Every structure is written in C-alpha cells, then in structure tokens.
Amino acid sequence: MSASPRSARLVSASGWGPQLTPLFTGPAGYTTLVKSYSLSNRNANAQNVQVVLQQPGHGTVLVLNNPAFASGTILNTECWLVLNPGDLLYVNALPDGIDVWVSGSYLTGVPPFP
C-alpha cells in the first residue's frame, strides 16, 4: 500500500425508492474496504431495508437484510467487505426516513480480490 489506510466516510445519504438504488461504486484504481455501516429509521413504522453488493459480470453476491428494522432505531454494523473497482453497493428501502452511513478505507497498490 502506498498510503496508510485511514478510515473515511465513503458515503452518507437518505431517501430511497422501493427498488435497488445505487449507493456507492468502488472507484477505479483503488480496492475499497468497507469497515462499517449504519442505518437509521426515522419512519413511523418498521421498514425492510437491504444493503446489496453487486459485482459486474456476477450480479448480486451479498445481501445484508434486516426485515424488521423498527421505527426510531439505529443499526450499527462492523464488517470487512472488500470492493474491487466497479463493484456496487445498493440500498433498497421505502422512500424517505432511512439514513445510511458507510465508512471504510481506499487502498492503493492492492490488486483486486478474486
């Protein structure tokens, strides 16, 4: 690695449609390490929220699903999820009231993982 892999906010967003909505794309020239993500439900009702990893040419490879995400709660998840350049993170939730925060590191000099 040519630089220290410091944690950074990769993306924060809110408001979604009832379909897979692009959240983050692994940038060219970097291997991205997702270290954690947080979901917050500001809706009056429980919501079904999915965070999905897709790889070009392979389709969906991982679905993180919380089918009973209660109103007024925050879900914090720590993980080690490797994104190659072009890999996509999507979120699937009902419109408005769901906030997403993803943090991790951009790694240079690391070849893409198989």
Contact 102, 14 (CB under 8 A): no
Ramachandran angles phi, psi of 110, nearest 5°: -105, 125
pLDDT of residue 2 exceeding 60, the answer is: no
Quick one: pLDDT band at residue 85, thresholds 50, 70, 90? Answer: very high
- DSSP states along 40-102: EE-SSS-EEEEEEEEETTTEEEEEEEEEEE-TT-EEEEEEEEEE-TT-EEEEE--SSSEEEEE
Examine the pLDDT at 105 and tell me if it is beyond 90.
yes
Quick one: pLDDT band at residue 102, thresholds 50, 70, 90? very high
Give me the pLDDT at residue 87, please: 93
**Which pTM was predicted?**
0.82
- Cβ atoms of 82 and 36 within 8 Å: the answer is no
Q: Which residues in 60-98 are b (16+ Cβ under 10 Å) and which e? A: eeeebebeebeeeeeeeeeeebbbbeebbbbbbbbeebb
Does residue 20 sit in helix, strand or coil?
coil
Between β-strands 59-69 and 47-55, what pairing exists: parallel, antiparallel or unpaired?
Answer: antiparallel
3-state secondary structure of 24: strand
Q: Mind listing the domains of the chain with CATH numbers? A: 12-107 (2.60.120)
